[in-house]
Amino acid sequence: MDKAIDMAQPVAGRNAFYRRETVLLGEDRTGQTREIEILSFGEQGARPKAYLQTALHADELPGMLVMRRLIEELTRRAERGEILGEIVIVPVANPIGLAQREGDYMQGRVERGTDRNFNRGFPDLAELIATKIENKLGDDAIGNVAIIRKAMRKALSKLDPADAFEKLQLTLIKNACDADIVLDLHADNHALVHLYTGKALWPDAADLAAEIDVRAVLLCDYSGDGPFDEACGGPWWTLAKRLPAHPIPPACLSATLELRSNNDVSSEFANRDAQAVLRFLSRRGYLKGSTGSLPRLLGRAVPVEEMHRLKSSIEGVIDYKLRLGDTVRKGDVVAEIIPAIGETETIVAPIDGLLFALHDQTWAWSGKTIGKIA
């Protein structure tokens, strides 16, 4: 068997309050067997359904502590009967990357030996199902959503993963493809909280951005690389364009949430972020309880094409002249690249905006991104 399902153990004689599923991935390239744990709170198959995962890039760690806090709180909420929909949590989405270590560091972004990025190349669900559903859709948008979700699940069930990497990706998207909300928690190198989501999902996602105190929102429908959030949300607007005779809403609010950096892992941040996610889920009808007023959104939403990456053209030490979070004007000096010998390169802001990301390793080379402005 490649799948084991285990109910959570009762606490103090009470009934279990979540379902626990262990999916065996098989052997990775080191010959070790890996597995993914999936927790589900609320009634299985209930609506609305939310899916949250973290550590798909296994060396991006803030989300793991946030998930631990969410699991603890959702268990308490489930005990009190406060789960209204279904909330699926994957606390470690990439056990393969988590086990890839070199010296004192984990290398969890790409698979060792193949350089396959764990957050790229997910199945194109629109391409898999478009011709199969065209004659089944009607004039009812809600009915069309149900038809499309069923087709997605069926198409994914027929895929045959070749190895543990593909089994990992297939397991994740199988559990997320029919969700109303998909949140993929990541972290940048050294950054403020920011969010990537589809253009079709804005401003619907503004409440999420406001709750989590996002400082920059980057909008993109098609990056071309098949990251997880686009693989879940993108099929809806792709199918809407491909099949314009039928109403197809953007039925999955999917987003990649960048939770600062690995230098910002703390209980304080984790508690704050987890509570923000819980308020967002409550406001969206997944949990009972009041949420209070929605905070003011401090960040701006811009197309990802308007995000500017500041790049070095030489090798040298980075001497930052501005700080993370500074508002910059076009022409402001952001940093200097100082080589051991030779002329210094001055990096200036090409636009007005927010300096929302820097690099914590202050050594540059030709083509290295040393900052981001939106």
CATH number where 102 lies: 3.40.630.10
Mean of pLDDT values over 285-311: 93
214, with CB counted inside 10 A (0-12, 13-18, 19+), is buried
Which CATH number goes with the domain that contains 354?
Answer: 2.40.50.100
Lowest mean pLDDT among 50-54, 164-168, 290-294, 335-339: 290-294
Q: 97 and 208: one domain?
A: yes
Examine the domain organization and report whether 212 and 326 are in the same domain.
no
**Whether 14 and 131 share a structural domain:** yes
pTM: 0.94
- Specify whether 175 is located in the same domain as 236: yes
Query: Is the per-residue pLDDT at 360 higher than 70?
Result: yes
Sign of CA dihedral 39, 44, 45, 49: negative
Whether 110 and 41 map to the same domain: the answer is yes
Concatenate the DSSP letters of all residues of 108-122 into one string.
Answer: -SB-TTT--BTTS--
- Do residues 226 and 334 share a domain? no
Is the domain of 352 the same as that of 204?
A: no
Residues 277 and 320 in one domain: no
pLDDT attached to residue 11: 34
Q: Give the pairing of strands 216-219 and 300-303.
A: parallel
Is 3 a residue whose pLDDT tops 50?
A: no
Same domain, yes or no: 185 and 267: yes
Q: Residues 213-242: pLDDT tens digits? A: 999 999 999 988 999 999 999 999 999 999
- % the chain with pLDDT above 90: 91
* pLDDT at 16 exceeding the cut of 90: no
139 and 192 part of one domain: yes
What is the rounded average pLDDT for all residues in the chain?
Answer: 94
Q: Which of 303, 320, 344 is the last residue of a domain?
A: 303
Among 247, 278, 303, the domain-final residue is 303
* Token pair for 66: 């946030």
Q: For residues 346 and 129, what is the distance between their CA atoms, to the nearest angstrom?
A: 50
Distance CA(112)–CA(116), nearest Å, equals: 8
Q: Using DSSP bridges, classify how beta strands 181-186 and 49-54 pair: parallel, antiparallel or unpaired.
A: parallel
Residues spanned by the domain of 343? 307-373
Q: Which of 287, 303, 319 is the last residue of a domain?
A: 303
- Looking at the structure, tell me whether residues 221 and 273 fall in a common domain: yes
- pLDDT tops 70 at residue 336: yes
Verify that 250 and 335 share a domain, yes or no: no
Give the tens place of pLDDT for each residue, 98-156: 999 999 999 999 999 999 999 999 999 999 999 999 999 999 999 999 999 999 999 99
Give the total number of structural domains in the chain.
2
